Structures are given as C-alpha cells and as structure tokens.
C-alpha cells in the first residue's frame, strides 16, 4: 500500500468512528503529519514504542518543532499491527486512545513506518490538534513522504554479522528520514511564504 493510500485510509477510519458519535470530521494537517512521521520513523529505526522520542522529545515538542502553534495536542502510538483497520481497532479498545480519536480536535496527522529488522516491524503514530495554525491544508498538496518500505539489510548472506547489517540498515534509514524531513521542511517554508504574500496582497 502506498503512503497516500494508508494515510487517507487512516483519516477515513478515524472519521468513521467519530461519525458514530455525531462528531465533526477531522482534516489532515501538514504540521501534525510531520510530527507523526518523526515519531513513527524514530520508533521503527530505534526498535521501541512510546511517546517519548529516542532524543528525549515529547509529543508537544515535536508538534511545535514541525510548526504547530495550537494549544491542544494529543498522540496515539502503536506497533505491530499490519494494517490500518487492525491498528484503529486496537486503539478503539483502549479508553485513552479512544478518547483521543473521539476528542475535541479539528485537525489530524498520521504516519506509518516499516522496519523488517525491528521487534515490531510496523510502527504507527497519530497526532491530533486544535487551535493555533489550524487552517486546513489541501490534502493533495501535502508531501506524503512516509518511510513505509522495507529497510532490511542489503546483504543476502544469512550468515553475515548482525552488527554490520544493522549499521547498513540504520544508515539507509537515517538517509531516507533526513530526505523526508528536508522535503517537509521545504514545503512548510514555502507554505508560510505563500501565506505571507497573500496577506500582503490583502493589505493585512
């Protein structure tokens, strides 16, 4: 499944759950998608599941670093589920995660990362927000740069040392993640510039 496919599917599933409670649908937002991707990538690359990043970052810090200025943010993480339906069903069975999905939020970001050599293989993150720069992005304009692909070692020799294989794998993962963040950073800077130009044109 391509990144755009599973992210669109994730948004659809979340909004289906919200609709059962007559809640307004969420919309995808680029800054929250970037924050979600950072944590999903981190969990996959460093073989863990949690809300604190391997660099010590908290969810609010990651959202702010991505450019989100709102006052309310929440995060769901999961690992091991192979598809969108499985992970959403798992979250909906957990009171805390369910509360986030059905919470008083307006915008949303989600991400998936896959690492064959990690304990869980599949890593998922959702980030919810409201307030601040919650102007809605065009879903088709967001750079979908998920690392949802196989980062298994390059060597096909099953007897090769795991240390060297892991080093090669992490180098490939880091290079791909760095490239993804560069794309997102460039897009966000360009988006801010376009907004400023529009405001100047309106005399604001």
Give residue-wise pLDDT tens across range 124-179.
Answer: 999 999 986 655 554 444 443 333 333 222 221 222 222 222 333 334 444 444 44
Number of domains in the chain: 1
| The predicted structure's pLDDT at residue 170 | 39
3-class secondary structure, 27: strand
Q: Report percent pLDDT > 90 for the chain.
A: 58
Task: Please name the helix (run of DSSP H) or strand (run of DSSP E) that holds residue 129, with its range, or none.
Answer: strand 122-130
| The predicted structure's pLDDT at residue 146 | 37
3-class secondary structure, 125: strand
| The predicted structure's pLDDT at residue 80 | 95
The domain that holds 93 is classified in CATH as 3.40.33.10
The parent domain of residue 148 ranges over 3-201
What's the whole-number mean pLDDT along residues 86-100? 96
| The predicted structure's pLDDT at residue 132 | 66
Bigger pLDDT: 171 vs 100? 100
Q: Is 124 left (phi over 0), alpha (psi -120 to 50) or beta?
A: beta
Question: CA separation (Å) from 108 to 12, 137, 148, 173, 191?
Answer: 11, 11, 19, 25, 18
Q: Mean pLDDT of all residues in the chain?
A: 74
Residue 130 has what DSSP assignment?
A: E
| Max CA distance (Å), the chain | 67
What does pTM read for this prediction? 0.68
Q: Report percent pLDDT > 70 for the chain.
A: 62
Q: Check whether 189 has a pLDDT greater than 80.
A: no
Q: Check whether 93 has a pLDDT greater than 80.
A: yes
């Amino acid at each position: 499944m391509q990144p755009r496919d599973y992210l669109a599917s994730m948004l659809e599933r979340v909004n289906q759950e919200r609709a059962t409670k007559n809640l307004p649908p969420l919309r995808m937002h680029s800054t929250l998608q970037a924050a979600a991707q950072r944590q999903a990538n981190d969990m996959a690359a460093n073989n863990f599941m949690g809300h604190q990043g391997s660099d010590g970052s908290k969810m609010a810090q990651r959202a702010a670093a991505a450019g989100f200025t709102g006052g309310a943010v929440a995060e769901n993480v999961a690992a091991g589920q192979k598809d969108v339906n499985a992970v959403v069903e798992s979250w909906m069975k957990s009171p805390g995660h369910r509360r986030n999905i059905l919470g008083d939020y307006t915008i949303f970001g989600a991400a998936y990362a896959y690492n064959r050599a990690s304990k869980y293989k599949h890593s998922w993150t959702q980030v919810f927000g409201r307030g601040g720069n919650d102007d809605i992005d065009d879903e088709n304009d967001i750079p979908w740069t998920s690392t949802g692909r196989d980062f298994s070692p390059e060597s096909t020799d099953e007897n090769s040392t795991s240390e060297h294989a892991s080093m090669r794998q992490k180098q490939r993962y880091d290079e791909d993640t760095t490239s993804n963040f560069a794309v997102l950073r460039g897009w966000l800077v360009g988006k801010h510039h376009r907004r400023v130009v529009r405001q100047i044109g309106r005399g604001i």
